[in-house]
Structure 1
Amino acid sequence: MAKLLRANAHHGAIPKFKRNLLLREFIASAGCTAQTMSRAALDYNVFGESYFYKHCNAFGQVLELEHLMAINMRVKVDGGFMMLLPDNKELEFDQDEIVHIMDYDVEQNIYGIPDYLGGVQSALLNEAATLFRRRYYSNGAHAGYIFYTNDPDLSEADEQELQAQISGSKGVGNFRSMFVNIPGGNENAIKIIPIGDFQAKDELEKVKNITRNDIIAAWRMNPALAGIIPENSGGFGDIEKIDRVYTSNEIRPICQLFDQANEVLREDRRFSWREPPTTDQSTANTSN
């Protein structure tokens, strides 16, 4: 899942954007800093779960939460948790030392599962289409034609020169033009027979657009917030209203899940969330 973030531009950017929206709602405290919540929120978006270690005082009161990297955390069969360390070492935690925030999965109740799993194949196809285009040009294979000539006025030296020019069209500088002049030649003296029309057969744009739409649907991300250029002149509508609705429907429910970690903190060390704007405030902002 971590490596998949580098497969596609949208799939890599959306979890961080959702993390940023959550941080906008977050009000830090001595018990949980903005950096701690930032890391935990990104883990939640990518892995469907995040982990906090409780730092307690002598009275057992939790004074601070420390983020633990979800990629290294494991749930033990006999209870508790374990963190994988370098050099095949392990660090064990008791059940009551860790706060485990997870997105419930209907098939098991051990680890969290992210929502975007249904779009993984689209992300990989999007990556494959991009890599194909890169390798196609890097290989210089896009000459893709047969250069046919049938003219008695073309000398053997000219044929060899044409052959050298065509062979040199691969690699760096492969978009050079070539001028051919055959004195006395007819209109069919030279024919270009395409055998690999890249634009017609690859359909890169169609593949990229379809897979992109699958990815943002898997993330439940509004296109206006996903950095997509609208194809119609009207655009996506009021971006502020879209932002408010998306934050209300998608981000604040995640904030409620993180309140599970807030409840273990001593009351004076708890963090809080920004109050959602009222209808009057939203209307005033839109008018301004």
Structure 2
Amino acid sequence: MKAASPQKMEVFTFGEPSAVLDHRDILDYVECVNNCRWFEPPVSFTGLAKSLRAAVHHSSPIYVKRNILASTFFPHPLLSQQDLSRFALRFLVFGNAFLELRKSVTGRLASSAKYTRRDIEEDIYWWVPSFDQPHAFAPGSVLHLLEPGINQELYGIPEYLSALNSAWLNESATLFHRKYYQNGAHSGYLMHVTDAAQSGSDVEALRDAMRSSKELG
């Protein structure tokens, strides 16, 4: 009688780890870069805008502060309650807020802090919605309210910056839970097969069955 050949142990994995979000680019700015026309902000304003709704406990306090300010504000001919609401929200999100004085039209208009840059010359600002179409504001026409920083005095820094890692972690965990739920919460285990009767083809079939069980989530 021929002795059965010993079964070898096989270990395999399926599915690759996927990063839900990658926010490393927000802190790539190490200084206010001078591009010969204006200074770039020390923190990516686009990254701050994307992070606003990263977690409910990050956005809610910001909106509460904005709503309290707007509710206690008495509208003025030079500044409506709606403009004040925009101004306050931009200051809370970006640590910077801008108002433009237009002498030909009654009142001040709020300029989006996300696209406003400070000129290398004093008291001049740029509107840069796209790099190839910048617009220079008239000298002295922009009021710049900023949250003071400790490393530079050109732009403000939002006070919540140190809490962003926690907000991103909360967002990543929530999206991971959603993905796990959409996948049917399956195949999240280790399988140890001890039956000596299992052949190589059986193990291969089991591997294919587990890999094919992954859903679109």
TM-score normalised according to structure 1 size = 0.48
Unaligned runs of 5+ in 1: 151-162, 173-288
**Whole-angstrom distance in 1 between the partners of 2:166 and 2:131:** 35
The alignment partner of 2:101 has SS state of: strand
Moved segments of 4+, more than 6 Å: 147-150
1:76 aligns with 2:123: no
Alignment of 1:184-195 (within 5 A): none
What is the aligned partner in structure 2 of residue 89 from structure 1?
133
Higher strand share: 1
CA distance in 2, matches of 1:83, 1:102: 17
Q: Which has the higher contact order (CA 8 A, sep 6+)?
A: 1
Letter in 1 for 2:160: Y
Q: Aligned residue for 1:144?
A: 189
What is the root-mean-square deviation of aligned Cα atoms in Å?
3.2
Contact 2:99-2:111 at 8 Å conserved across structures: yes
1:30-59 residue CA offsets vs partner (Å, 9 max, x unmatched): 1101110111100000001100111225xx
Q: Tell me the matched-pair count.
A: 161
Partner of residue 27, structure 2:
none
In 2 relative to 1, CA 85–128 (structure 1 residues): closer, same or farther, beyond 3 Å? closer
Q: Compared with structure 1, are the counterparts of its residues 149 and 106 closer, same or farther at alpha carbon in structure 2 (3 Å cutoff)?
A: closer
Cα distance in 2, alignment partners of residues 32 and 125 from structure 1: 38
1:105 aligns with 2:152: no
Q: Is the 8 A contact 1:81 1:95 kept in 2?
A: yes
Q: CA deviation at 1:167?
A: 5.8
Indicate if the aligned counterparts of 2:187 and 2:210 stay in contact, CA closer than 8 A: no
Please report how far the alpha carbon of residue 63 of structure 1 lies from its aligned counterpart in structure 2 after TM superposition.
4.0
1:20 to partner: Cα distance:
0.3
TM-score normalized with structure 2 length = 0.63
TM-superposed CA distance for 1:7, in Å, is 1.5
- In the alignment, which residue of structure 2 is the partner of 1:25? 72
Q: 1:119-158 alignment to 2 at 5 Å?
A: 119-139=163-183, 140-144=185-189, 146=191
Alpha-carbon distance in 2 for matches of 1:142, 1:95 = 63
The percent identity for this pair of structures is 31
Higher helix proportion (structure 1 or 2): 1
1:146 is displaced (CA, Å) by: 3.5
Q: Give per-residue Cα distances to partners, 1:196-232, cap 9 Å, x unaligned.
A: xxxxxxxxxxxxxxxxxxxxxxxxxxxxxxxxxxxxx
CA contact (8 A) 2:148 2:157 kept: yes
Does residue 37 (structure 1) correspond to residue 84 (structure 2)? The answer is yes
Say which one has the larger Rg: 1
Per-residue deviation at 1:168?
11
